Amino acid sequence: MTDSHRTTGRAAGLAALLAVAGTFHLVTPRPFEHLIPRRLGPPRPWVLGSGVAELACAAALAHPTSRRAGAWATVALFVAVLPGNVTMAVRSRRGRPAYRAVAWGRLPLQVPLVLWAVRVAQEAREAR
């Protein structure tokens, strides 16, 4: 497999992940609403907005000419949703053990997701 194919594969995988997540946020927003910190106000607009942002990032990642910008936008998105993941973990204290495990397990996953998007951005720059 060539470097070009690996780069395209990494970008396509990240785009697919974002497309699935964005679709879930738009089609079934209710499960995500409890992730929104209360101080941000009504959660539905935030959930729908994040779904639209995920789909926009996925679309940008899918095309070579917008891939670098899409990857940096994805980095920003992953950093922006971290407070929601922290909120989920903190609120999970009274939840079932499996829910707590998922909630706390999501936090360290943000690091490889951000690094994945940074790698795609760097590779897109090198491909130019």
Residue 8 pLDDT level (bands cut at 50, 70, 90): confident
Q: Kindly tell me if the per-residue pLDDT of 118 is higher than 80.
A: yes
**Residue 93 CA from chain centroid, whole number:** 24
Q: Which domain holds residue 74?
A: 3-127
* Higher-pLDDT residue of 16, 84: 16
Indicate the number of domains in the chain. Answer: 1
Say how far apart CA 128 and CA 123 lie, in whole Å.
9
Counting residues of the chain whose pLDDT is more than 90, the rounded percentage is 62
Can you give the pLDDT at residue 125? Answer: 83
Structure-token match 């090198």, residue found: 126
Rg (CA), the chain: 16
Rounded to two decimals, the pTM is: 0.86
Annotate 21-44 with three-state secondary structure: HHHHHHHCCHHHHCCCCHHHCCHH
Burial call 36-73: b when 16+ CB within 10 Å, e when fewer: beeeeeebeebbeebbebbbbbbebbbeeeebbebbbb
pLDDT above 70 (res 3): no
pLDDT in tens, 66-114: 999 999 999 999 999 888 888 888 888 888 888 888 889 888 999 999 9
Q: pLDDT tens digits for 23-75?
A: 999 999 998 888 888 888 999 999 999 999 999 999 999 999 999 999 999 99
